[in-house]
Amino acid sequence: MNLNKSIKYRYLIAKDSIEVLLGMRHPLTPPKRYDNINIGANIKIAEEFFGYFKEFGGLKPYHKVLEVGSGFGRMAIPLTTFLCDTGSYVGLEIIKDGVNWCQSNFTPKYPNVTFQHIDVYNERYNPKGKLKASAFEFPFESNSFDFVCLTSVFTHMFADDVEHYVYEISRVLKPGGKCFITYFLLNEETRKEISNNKGTFTFSHQNKDYFVEDISKPEYAIAYNEQYIRQLYQKANISVIEPIHIGSWSGRTNSLSFQDIIIGKKL
C-alpha cells in the first residue's frame, strides 16, 4: 500500500468511527472504505426488505434463516433484534472481506447471527474463486431452514448456476419453508415497457436461457424469462406464491421494489 492510499485508508477508518460515535451512522453499517464492492448497503434498504420478509415471506422470530449472498450483512441488521433465542441467521458470502467484517462486528454481539465464506467463482465479485457455483453444495443438512433469502444474487448468475442453487435451496428448506428471491424477469409486459424505452435495462443479448445487459461483462446484470423460472421452481418442488411482485427496473409503475420478487414455498 503506497503512502497516499495508506493516509486515505486511515482517514476513512477515523471518519467511520466518528460517525458511529456521533450517531450519524448505524454501527452495523459497513465502513465507507468498502463502498467499491458494497454498493447500496444501507439501513433503509435493510428495513425495506425486512418488511417484505415479514409481510410476504411470513418470517417469524423463531425461524432458522439462511441468506445466500450476505455481502456485508445488510439484510442481517434488522434480524439481530428480531430473532429470538431459538431463531438464527447464517449468511453465505463469496466476498471474504464482507465475511470477515461481519464475523467481527455481528457475531460477538449476536451469537445466533453467523457468517461463512464460500470460495465460489464470480467474475464480478470473486474472480479468483476456486469453486463453480453450478457444483457447490450448501454446507448444511437437508431440511435445516425455515426461510432462505437471496437479494440481487441471481441477477448476477448464469442459468446453470441458478438452477443448481434453486435445487440446493429446496434441499435445505424444511417442508413448508419459504424462499425469497429477487430477479430481473422478462415477460410480455416487461418487453413492452423495454421496447418503449422505459426500463433501466434492455437485456438485448440472449445466451440460451438468459439475457444480459452488457455482453462484455455478462454478470453485471442477467435476466430470465419468467416462464423459465416458474418451470425451474416446479422441478425443484417449490410452489410460487402468487402474485410475483414486479420491480420498477423495467419501467412499470405498479412495482413493489426495484427488482422483481418471487416468494416460493417448499412442498
Domains annotated on the chain, with CATH: 39-266 (3.40.50.150)
Element of type H or E holding 195: helix 188-195
Peptide bond connecting 243 to the previous residue in cis, omega within 30 degrees of 0:
yes
What per-residue confidence (pLDDT) applies to 38? 53
pLDDT tens per residue across span 176-223: 999 999 999 999 999 999 999 889 999 999 988 899 999 999 999 999
- pLDDT for 245: 97
H or E element in which residue 43 lies: helix 43-55
Write down the pLDDT at residue 21. Answer: 37
Question: Is 159 in contact with 208 (CB distance < 8 Å)?
Answer: yes
Residues in the chain with pLDDT values less than 70: 1-26, 31-41
**Above pLDDT 90, what percent of the chain?**
78
Report pLDDT for 34.
Answer: 63
Rg (alpha carbons) of the chain, rounded to whole number:
19
Q: What is the pLDDT of residue 59?
A: 98
| Distance between CA atoms of residues 96 and 71, nearest Å | 9
